Amino acid sequence: MQLTDVWFVLIAVLWTGYFVLEGFDFGVGTLSSDDTDRRVLVNTIGPVWDGNEVWLLVAGGATFAAFPGWYASLFSGFYLALLLILVTLIVRGVAFEYRGKVDSLRWRRNWDRAIATCSALPALLWGVAFGNVVRGVPLDARHTFTGTFLALLNPYALLGGLTTLVIFALHGAVFLSLKTDGEIRTRARRLAGKLGVAAVPIAGGFLLWTQLAHGTGWTALTALVAALALVGGLLAVRVGREGWAFLCTALTIVLATATLFGALYPDVLPSSTNPAYSLTTTNSASTPYTLGIMTWVAVVFTPIVLTYQAWTYWVFRQRLTRASIPTEAGLPVPGTR
């Protein structure tokens, strides 16, 4: 296996980690509740949400260093969509920090609306973006994007966006049932069951479309197991096995992402204008020397980052209830700084 293939796989792993971890963050953020319960919801992800976003930064940085041609065409062609995602992530982070700064119900509700909106939009837009990456975009002979923003809003990509939105919402609801207790846990489990009923046909339709239009023999297997894992997660929710349900929704995201990257390879950004203009793992890659240095850096630092993040989840593993929230209005939620 060449280093270009190794880094294609590593970038796929980074995006997979981001979608699994930030996916339940987005899902929790989109769920609505009253003021006290919203503080419980925010507190479940308070210690980890910013650490989960590190996966996005590393995935973007790795793409820039390993495949600069891919990075240049992708970020220039998807500029408006990626800018919107960036703005929503910034506003979302500010909302987490500021919602408890003023003793005002109206203040907190406005920031809660910002959290919900800025969690749902990235969840939707990431699916649209990756749908377009797999489907292909207009590229000329110089690998320059020649389309428009509206061209990205095609049926396949929009279905991809709807898929990530509903899967992340389900993943978040299952996470809440795993991290809370009492009435909130019961409500989260009930909501997860309803979301699962919607997620199965939506995600199943997107995976089937992906396989029929872009798939290979290998992606047929990953897509099938992803669909089975999603159904298994729904069944686990209904019998109250939250741990198994979370494992199944996480596995669904892992295998769905693997299906997309498997359908994409060996391209990294197909050209819908002419297949000869497509960016591949070969014509968009950095020099072997650069990839070699990056590989050694990844070997050294990746275990350190994974160990630290695993330790963080272990420290904040306890279930939360309404009793975990201070009764005085306006106090910040513990763990959200």
**pLDDT score of 292:** 93
Residue tagged 């306006």 (tokens): 330
User: For residues 30-48, b (16+ Cβ closer than 10 Å) or e, as one string?
Assistant: bbeeeeebbbbbbbbbbbb
Mean pLDDT of 189-194: 91
Q: Could you tell me whether strands 267-269 and 279-280 are parallel, antiparallel, or unpaired per DSSP bridges?
A: antiparallel
Q: Give the pLDDT band (50/70/90) at residue 231.
A: very high
Domain-located, residue 252 = yes
Residue 336 has pLDDT above 80, yes or no: no
- Which two structure tokens, joined as six digits, stand for 306? 């994974």
Domain-located, residue 285 = yes
**pLDDT score of 167:** 96
pLDDT tens digits, 93-144 = 998 888 888 888 888 888 888 999 999 999 999 999 999 999 999 999 998 9
Q: How many domains, the chain?
A: 1
Domain-located, residue 333 = no
Residue 190 has pLDDT above 70, yes or no: yes
Average pLDDT, the chain: 89
Domain-located, residue 336 = no
pLDDT tens digits, 1-47 = 789 999 999 999 999 999 999 999 999 988 866 566 778 888 888 88
**pLDDT score of 34:** 58
Nearest to 8 by CA among 213, 280, 197, 233: 280
Instruction: Report whether 66 contacts 291 (CB < 8 A).
Output: yes
Supply the angle between the helices 35-45 and 183-214 in degrees, to the nearest 10: 60
**pLDDT score of 36:** 63
**Which amino acid belongs to residue 189?**
R
Residue 333 has pLDDT above 50, yes or no: no
**Which amino acid belongs to residue 22?**
E
pLDDT tens digits, 34-87 = 566 778 888 888 888 888 888 999 999 999 999 999 999 998 889 998 999 999
Domain-located, residue 337 = no
Contacts of 146 by beta carbon, 8 Å cutoff, 6+ apart:
138, 139, 140, 273
**pLDDT score of 295:** 93
**Which domain does 142 fall in, by range?**
3-324
**pLDDT score of 147:** 86
Beta strands in 163-313 (DSSP E): 267-269, 279-280
Contacts of 292 by beta carbon, 8 Å cutoff, 6+ apart:
3
Give CA 80 to chain center in angstroms: 19
309 or 252, higher pLDDT: 252
Nearest to 257 by CA among 28, 65, 55: 55
User: For residues 83-108, b (16+ Cβ closer than 10 Å) or e, as one string?
Assistant: eebeebbebbeebbebbbeeeeeeeb
Contacts of 153 by beta carbon, 8 Å cutoff, 6+ apart:
128
Mean pLDDT of 290-295: 92
**Which amino acid belongs to residue 62?**
A
Q: Which three-class secondary structure state does DSSP give residue 1?
A: coil
Beta strands in the chain (DSSP E): 267-269, 279-280
**Which amino acid belongs to residue 123?**
A
**Which amino acid belongs to residue 107?**
W
Domain-located, residue 334 = no
Residue tagged 């978040």 (tokens): 172
Instruction: Report whether 26 contacts 123 (CB < 8 A).
Output: yes
